[in-house]
Chain A
């Protein structure tokens, strides 16, 4: 799906803070959405969480920064960070080039997925959410 210039892939889950989550086996791959990266514009720095860190849903994991803007990103679900995309340290612009692919940020091993997944938006809901933001 696409709303204006923003991609909204169908199989993902979304937060109001513009993170996405993809289920991969028992784990969750997370990143920031196309809308988030286009709003930030050129990403020049990503502050990555440490592997092994236990996180709670909605906790700040780090920042994604452009030349002039800083944006926190938050854990869509609770769990443990089991992998981070360390390539972003040297190639932060992967977030602009491929926000849902090579620009993924971390993998979380969730601890309360069934409950917390219900709080996330599916692509249709996120599409409607973006629509309301754009129309403001």
Chain B
């Protein structure tokens, strides 16, 4: 069974389609390379409606979310969002997600497309004893992501609220073209950008979602906006050093070795996976997620082995050609003794060891690209 998002009628006419987590999604429209360039230098727009969305409400919503996720939900202010993880009892990562705090005890969770069912079941299973209401709205809600240095300029044309008052990870209810939406200053590219959840729309009548998509394309025209597919999305997130669930993080990786400890708040009280993670922390991590940049010729790919002195010291979990840097880049897990920045290792590509270097994330020069670029 293959699902389609509310914007499928646009993709069908304009893109090369691919299957992703059971959805027929655009892989690219014109070109992955030019779509990446649009986002890094101007602005791009993505359909991310395939992602999962769950409203969590009720008297115990905050306490419940604090128990099932690793970041501190109590510290979350209204109209603000946080990146966080759901872990299993062994401390393995079940999913990475964004939680938005809207009004009072109303939260909106955005999770990975492939984890929609798994997350919902897990949340339900662990909600016993909590006065919470879980409302999964993934199919009813469309989601559009506008990314790149010209994202604010593009989006500002579509709504009255002053976007300059929103900082990174702020979120709020807004009205766009007459539709109620949840807007957040978030993204998966390393660039400034916004994600819009269009609430007044549905699979059977996606007119409002299509309208906002079309308006965005038009508003961005003067900046050279491009619709972007999942190909560019994957390259951009990897260039930014962000994890892809299912590849870089799974139930068999923990937040410590994945270097996601910054969203694990051990001091906040009890939460699922805490004890297991503390034990792992005490024992010390044996491997670490690192960025790898090719020194020799070749493009690293998922599952390539990482070698040193003829021994296997790790595995590539994501690899691609980076159009921004014009070189092969990868993320993978390496034994801690080789995981320091500057260490030289070999990646086995088509049976041949090719030299690579452990580098800082993100891969790009942050003075030139990304959120913190010099204007």
Q: Which one, B16, B323, B350, contacts A67 given CB within 8 A? A: B323
Q: Which one, A41, A45, A62, A89, contacts B299 given CB within 8 A? A: A45
Q: Can you list, as one digit per residue, whether each of A60-89 has a CB less than 8 Å from chain B (1) or not (0)? A: 001101111010000000000000000001
- In the assembled complex, A44 has its CB within 8 A of some CB on chain B: yes
Distance between B236 CB and nearest chain A CB, rounded to angstroms = 11
Contact B27 A44 (CB under 8 A): no
- In the assembled complex, B111 has its CB within 8 A of some CB on chain A: no
Contact B16 A65 (CB under 8 A): no
Q: Can you list, as one digit per residue, whether each of B162-204 has a CB less than 8 Å from chain A (1) or not (0)? A: 0000000000000000000000000000000000000000000
Beyond the given A41-B28, A68-B27, A68-B231, could you list 7 further A-B residue pairs with CB under 8 A, ordered by the A residue number? A41-B32, A42-B31, A44-B33, A47-B297, A63-B350, A67-B320, A68-B320
Contact B31 A70 (CB under 8 A): no
- In the assembled complex, B301 has its CB within 8 A of some CB on chain A: yes
A-B contact pairs, 24 of them (CB 8 A): A41-B16, A41-B28, A41-B31, A41-B32, A42-B31, A42-B32, A44-B321, A45-B297, A45-B298, A45-B299, A45-B321, A45-B328, A47-B297, A47-B350, A63-B350, A65-B299, A67-B32, A67-B235, A67-B320, A68-B27, A68-B32, A68-B234, A68-B320, A70-B299
Find chain B residues with CB under 8 A from A65 CB.
299, 321
Find chain B residues with CB under 8 A from A41 CB.
16, 28, 31-32
Summed over the interface, the residue pairs from A and B with CB atoms below 8 Å come to a total of 39
Q: Can you list, as one digit per residue, whether each of B291-306 has a CB less than 8 Å from chain A (1) or not (0)? A: 0000001110100000
Q: How far is the CA of A65 from the CA of B301 in the complex (A)?
A: 11
Binding site for A on B (CB under 8 A): 16, 27-28, 31-33, 231, 234-235, 297-299, 301, 320-321, 323, 328, 350
Chain B's closest residue to A68 (CB) is B231
Find chain A residues with CB under 8 A from B33 CB.
42, 44, 67
Q: How far is the CA of A67 from the CA of B236 in the complex (A)?
A: 12
Q: How far is the CA of A45 from the CA of B211 in the complex (A)?
A: 39
Q: How far is the CA of A41 from the CA of B301 in the complex (A)?
A: 18
Find chain B residues with CB under 8 A from A89 CB.
297
Q: How far is the CA of A105 from the CA of B16 in the complex (A)?
A: 27
Q: How far is the CA of A41 from the CA of B321 in the complex (A)?
A: 14
Q: How far is the CA of A46 from the CA of B33 in the complex (A)?
A: 17
Find chain B residues with CB under 8 A from A62 CB.
350
Find chain B residues with CB under 8 A from A70 CB.
299, 301
